[in-house]
Amino acid sequence: MIVALVLLLIGAPQGAPQGVPLHGDALARRTQEIASGLRCPVCQGLSIADSPSEMAVNMKTEVHSMLERGYTREQIETYFVHSYGEFVLLQPRSPVIWILPIAALVFGIAIVAIMLRRLAAAPRTKKIDPDVARVRNLVKGTTS
């Protein structure tokens, strides 16, 4: 029995904890935080923090116990990625997904600046629709 327990413990593939063990409120809060970033593999897009399924609850318990033992967020996420793949992270590690919107923002600001300059340089007199001109003349005639 003790042998089994020991085997269970040293079987951990994540190596030694690199952080500080947590307790109480800090533990609960950090569990919630990290769990919100992990995807429930049996649900549609929910995090294990939000999902009521048993699988998610088990995973959340695992996060809790790893935090108690002092594992860092990096280590916990790496552990789950090792078993489930990058799919389990709700936020990709790749920077591309951040670069694209920022690039779009810069591009957009440039376009708006160009547009404002071009539209400000347009000639002052408007081209008047001939029908509108007729109406104007008629109205001027009646109101004068």
Partner 1 sequence: MIATAALGRLLILGALLVSTAGALLGFASGAKRSDEGLRWSKRLAYAFGALMLLATLVMEHALLTHDFSVSYVAHVGSRSVPVWVTIVSLWSSLEGSILFWGLVLGIYIAAATRFSSRGNEESMPYAIGTWLACGAFFSFLIAGPANPFLTISPAPLDGPGPNPLLQNHVLMVAHPPLLYLGYVGMTIPFGFAVAALLRGKIGPTLIRAMRNSLLLSWIFLSIAIMLGGWWAYEVLGWGGYWAWDPVENASLLPWLTATAALHSAMVMQRRGVLKGWTLTLVQASFLLTVLGTFMTRSGVFNSVHSFTQSAIGPTILVFLAAVLIGSVTLLALRIDTLENDGRIDAPVSREGTFLINNLLLVLFTFTVLVGTVFPLVVEAVNGKQMSVGRPYFDSMVVPLGVALLFLLGIGPALPWGRAAREDIRRALLPPIVGGAALTVLGVVFGARNPWTIVTLFAGGYALQVTIVQLAKLRHSRRSVGAYVIHLGVAIAVVAIAISSTMRVQREVVLQQGQSATIGAYTVTFTGTEERSEPHRTSSIARIGVTKNGRAVTTLEPRMNHYEMMREPIGTPDVHSTIGGDLYISIASLEPNRAGLLLIVTPLVSWIWLAVLMMAAGGVIALVRLPRMTPLPALRREGSGEGLAV
Partner 2 sequence: MNRFVLSTGAVITAALVTVLMAGLGRDPKHIDSPLVHQAAPAFALKTVGTGETVDIASFRGKPVVLNFWATWCGPCWEEHPVLNETARAHPEVQFLGVVFQDDEAKIQDFLRKRGSAYPTVIDDRGKTAIAYGVGGVPETFIIDAHGTIVAKHDGPITQEQLQSYLAEVLR
Where on the chain is the footprint of partner 2 (CB under 8 A)? Answer: 1, 3-4, 7-8, 11, 13, 41-42, 54-55, 58-59, 61-62, 80-85, 87
Task: Using the rule CB under 8 A, give the single segment among 1-9, 14-22, 61-69, 107-115 that binds partner 1.
Answer: 107-115
Q: Which of 18, 55, 128, 134 binds partner 1 (CB under 8 A)?
A: 128
* Single-letter code of the amino acid located at 114: I
DSSP string spanning 55-80? HHHHHHHHHHHHHHTT--HHHHHHHH
In the block, tokens 């990096």 appear at 74
In sequence order, which residues have a C-beta less than 8 Å from that of residue 59 and are 6 or more positions away? 35, 38, 40, 48, 80
Chain CA centroid to CA 24, Å: 28
Instruction: Show the DSSP H helices in 1-144 as ranges.
Output: 2-10, 24-35, 54-68, 73-84, 96-120, 130-143
Q: Residue 94, interface with partner 1 (CB under 8 A)? A: yes
Show the tokens assigned to 95. 């920077």
- Interacting residues with partner 1 between 17 and 76 (CB under 8 A): 36-37, 39, 44-47, 50-52, 57
Taking the least distance from each CB to partner 2, the nearer of 42 and 128 is: 42
Taking the least distance from each CB to partner 2, the nearer of 15 and 128 is: 15
Task: Using the rule CB under 8 A, give the single segment among 3-11, 12-20, 68-76, 82-90 that binds partner 1.
Answer: 82-90
Residues making contact with partner 1 (CB under 8 A): 36-37, 39, 44-47, 50-52, 57, 85-92, 94, 96-97, 100-101, 104-105, 108-109, 111-112, 115-116, 119-129, 132, 136, 139-140
